[in-house]
Structure 1
């Protein structure tokens, strides 16, 4: 009994029974005999442990490699049992998922990283995005793309190289943000005729994002060096996809592709003509595209996805899928529309002519921009847009060495209110001083400009008024000095 008391005292008071069993069953060196743990029982109604030592037992030999292999073979040979739903709630959720898959024509897509959902839709080129058919897309050349996005290095690209892409994410970046829905569109074939093939990849749960990335990389074939056509893709879509691919131990490379970012084109063509250059604004102005009722706004997309994950109700995710598909179709339609505008395949009048002139001027094609500004000047009613067309056309005439053609246009701008009025007065003063050699007329123009500065600009923009006043006083002093010398001779 004395030999067992130290062992009893060493047993932790809060130890679990299983802990002691585990310690006792460990083999020690070559020992084959071990003592099981102390059997603490009630004996004879007297409270206290029994201190009788238990009988000696033989420990089971440790499992060897052959035993483990046999166990693995038995496990692998078992037939998988169908998983049963644990509750009516899970059964209802599964029915909702199947219903969404059927209604949206999604099918499972198996990849090395698992499965995601995929949807493919084919649009003939006669299909209209808003009022714009997709047909001009097939004839887009690299030269046309370079006119729309100067400096994009797409001169040798073809229409088949364009890869339209848009993603939906749970955030703007950082930890926890995933790309749960990706849409691509590319020219392909349908029954032997050219068509636009739209693909969407959906992660029905966050772990499926890896399969979405795998499916996207497999279908896109980045080694063919496509031209990535996006809306702010250089700043968001491309780095986001590359980052998510890296998280899943994949190498993507969307950022190093040739970038055809239509946000740059929209800003060059529509800045100041629309409340903003968001895609939702530009597609209405350029395509007349109206989104369907119930279509979700971009800012609400993460909330819809989280609600879908929580409830598995397909009504939360359906508007997001429609929004994503329409964004990609809008990119394709916008490319077709703007390509037709800058190449002259689409007749441009009014604001469209002004947009075409802006894009061609930004691309360094003044000889093609001038007729566009002239058409806008003829078609537009008196407005800020018409003033801009006149000022831009006058600047092109001046650059071409024809200030005489620019003079009446500068007068059109100078005689109407607008932000270009003072600039027009300065240009007229330069023309009369240096080209027409009419110093008296130049002095009158400078005086009229100073009067406008004192009456209007001093109240609304004191700092700007000071700058203009300084420049005009300097120019007026020089003109008057020349007049004095002319009179003295």
Structure 2
């Protein structure tokens, strides 16, 4: 049975924040082991990175140069258009599990941000579960200083988890109203066809050229924290904090690579697929001139690329460059006589703009014949989905010829 929102809120009300537990004192002070100290009732560690130092294939200074409009196109989110990288917080969490429910704690919250000539990573560490409210309150004050978020898979995991925890502690986080770039989503749009695996580790290696050494596996991190709570031994926590820091820096660097690829695709694209994906992003953002320039270049170097021609034709059509679009449809009909979409678009042009119902009817009949061949060959059913459209169009054009 699906719970209503009110029922969910009542359920949350019944869940109490973690009870105070006694953690054995660490063998050596945390300040010595982790390099941080207590601030605002919680333990905080800071690390600074010079933005002009290379991080694999890019410097973080390059990210700072990118306009928000470029990031908005990459994120497919207009709310990001006015967000400068300097105004964003880069967030990553380490948790006691992947379930993300009310029983999962974010025992480490890393926050990256630009400050003068450095990229700073501040990490809020939960020494004991009962310190969670103080940690979240400190994080809330930090969030108030910046207006945007950048995460890697944070829309699905990190941010919903933090929201759940703040509700339990009766704190208010305005995550929903903030521009939010999820780098995982943008990376998949650009590189899924090329890489298949768009995990942070693989993107870090394949796109940035960074190879981690002696990195703690993410699957072991919850147990390392539980061992710390049980024994007070914090040696392995250094590896956990290092892992979290690198995740945040990698997320920022990947956003820089994504942004520069979108901004200067002819300079940075490593494959045709990347140019295609950038062209689609510009088209979906309504930046048709840039999209047309990309697809014209692709078509020029591959005369029979179906997807590139289709994309170019629809860009022309969106700009009301109907004759240019018409030439694309005709070229595709000659080159791809078994794909119905160019036939449909050319028939629309003939019917609604040229009022040439006889010619449009001939084109539709050719498309139906092509689909009949496809059925005989047991070809993909997604092409056969056009059959109903073509059948209706054929009947309408036949009727129009009788009445004109």
Q: TM-score range by the shorter chain?
A: 0.7 to 0.9
Give CA-to-partner distance per residue, 1:381-437, whole Å, 9 cap, x none: 97xxx533321111011122223322343356556679x932223113323444566
Residue of structure 2 in register with 1:138 after alignment: 64
Taking a change above 3 Å as real, the CA distance of residues 292 and 126 of structure 1, as seen in their structure-2 partners, is same
Residue of structure 2 in register with 1:389 after alignment: 308
Residue 181 of structure 1: SS of its match in structure 2? strand
Provide the C-alpha distance between the structure 2 equivalents of 1:397 and 1:366, rounded to a whole number of angstroms.
8
Taking a change above 3 Å as real, the CA distance of residues 122 and 396 of structure 1, as seen in their structure-2 partners, is same
Residue 293 of structure 2: SS of its match in structure 1? helix
Q: Mark the runs of 5 or more structure 2 residues left unpaired by the alignment.
A: 1-23
| Match for residue 121 of structure 2 among 198, 223, 226 | 198
Q: Does 1:474 align with 2:392?
A: yes
| Match for residue 148 of structure 2 among 216, 227, 232 | 227
> C-alpha displacement at 1:188, in angstroms?
1.0
Q: Would the aligned equivalents of 2:95 and 2:106 in 1 still touch at CA under 8 Å?
A: yes
Residue of structure 2 in register with 1:327 after alignment: 247
Provide the C-alpha distance between the structure 2 equivalents of 1:355 and 1:412, rounded to a whole number of angstroms.
22
| Match for residue 106 of structure 2 among 173, 176, 179 | 179
Taking a change above 3 Å as real, the CA distance of residues 225 and 424 of structure 1, as seen in their structure-2 partners, is same
Q: Would the aligned equivalents of 2:106 and 2:162 in 1 still touch at CA under 8 Å?
A: yes
Please tell me whether Structure 1 or Structure 2 has the larger radius of gyration of its CA atoms.
1
> C-alpha displacement at 1:251, in angstroms?
4.6
Provide the C-alpha distance between the structure 1 equivalents of 2:40 and 2:65, rounded to a whole number of angstroms.
37
Taking a change above 3 Å as real, the CA distance of residues 392 and 94 of structure 1, as seen in their structure-2 partners, is same
Q: Would the aligned equivalents of 1:134 and 1:333 in 2 still touch at CA under 8 Å?
A: yes
Give CA-to-partner distance per residue, 1:196-250, whole Å, 9 cap, x none: 11222333443454454354345x2x33342122234344323422433454565
Q: Does 1:430 align with 2:351?
A: no
Taking a change above 3 Å as real, the CA distance of residues 415 and 395 of structure 1, as seen in their structure-2 partners, is same
> C-alpha displacement at 1:177, in angstroms?
0.9
Q: Would the aligned equivalents of 2:133 and 2:169 in 1 still touch at CA under 8 Å?
A: yes
Taking a change above 3 Å as real, the CA distance of residues 269 and 381 of structure 1, as seen in their structure-2 partners, is farther
Taking a change above 3 Å as real, the CA distance of residues 475 and 315 of structure 1, as seen in their structure-2 partners, is farther
* Residues 256-267 of structure 1: pairs in structure 2 closer than 5 A: 256-266=177-187
Provide the C-alpha distance between the structure 2 equivalents of 1:351 and 1:240, rounded to a whole number of angstroms.
35
Q: Would the aligned equivalents of 1:439 and 1:479 in 2 still touch at CA under 8 Å?
A: yes
Q: Would the aligned equivalents of 2:306 and 2:336 in 1 still touch at CA under 8 Å?
A: no
* Residues 18-37 of structure 1: pairs in structure 2 closer than 5 A: none
Provide the C-alpha distance between the structure 2 equivalents of 1:426 and 1:479, rounded to a whole number of angstroms.
12
Provide the C-alpha distance between the structure 2 equivalents of 1:417 and 1:305, rounded to a whole number of angstroms.
59
Q: Does 1:370 align with 2:297?
A: no
Provide the C-alpha distance between the structure 1 equivalents of 2:327 and 2:238, rounded to a whole number of angstroms.
57
Provide the C-alpha distance between the structure 2 equivalents of 1:400 and 1:463, rounded to a whole number of angstroms.
28
Residue of structure 2 in register with 1:342 after alignment: 262
Q: Would the aligned equivalents of 1:340 and 1:346 in 2 still touch at CA under 8 Å?
A: no
TM-score (norm 1): 0.64
> C-alpha displacement at 1:187, in angstroms?
0.9
Residue 233 of structure 1: SS of its match in structure 2? coil
Cα RMSD (Å)? 3.9
Provide the C-alpha distance between the structure 2 equivalents of 1:318 and 1:381, rounded to a whole number of angstroms.
55
Give CA-to-partner distance per residue, 1:115-159, whole Å, 9 cap, x none: 42x332222222334312222222233433433345553454433
Choose between structure 1 and 2 for higher RCO, CA contacts under 8 A separated by at least 6 residues.
2
| Match for residue 88 of structure 2 among 162, 166, 184 | 162
> C-alpha displacement at 1:161, in angstroms?
0.9
* Residues 8-407 of structure 1: pairs in structure 2 closer than 5 A: 94=27, 102=33, 106-113=34-41, 115-116=42-43, 118-171=44-97, 172-189=99-116, 194-218=117-141, 220=142, 222-248=143-169, 250-266=171-187, 269=190, 275=196, 278-280=199-201, 287-293=207-213, 295-296=215-216, 298=218, 301-307=221-227, 309=229, 316-344=236-264, 347-349=267-269, 350-378=272-300, 386-407=305-326
Residue of structure 1 in register with 2:328 after alignment: 409
| Match for residue 339 of structure 2 among 421, 427, 434 | 421
Taking a change above 3 Å as real, the CA distance of residues 478 and 358 of structure 1, as seen in their structure-2 partners, is same
Taking a change above 3 Å as real, the CA distance of residues 354 and 298 of structure 1, as seen in their structure-2 partners, is farther
Taking a change above 3 Å as real, the CA distance of residues 232 and 414 of structure 1, as seen in their structure-2 partners, is farther
Q: Would the aligned equivalents of 1:110 and 1:211 in 2 still touch at CA under 8 Å?
A: no
Give CA-to-partner distance per residue, 1:15-37, whole Å, 9 cap, x none: xxxxxxxxxxxxxxxxxxxxxxx
* Number of residues of Structure 1 aligned to a counterpart in Structure 2: 377
Q: Would the aligned equivalents of 1:164 and 1:229 in 2 still touch at CA under 8 Å?
A: yes
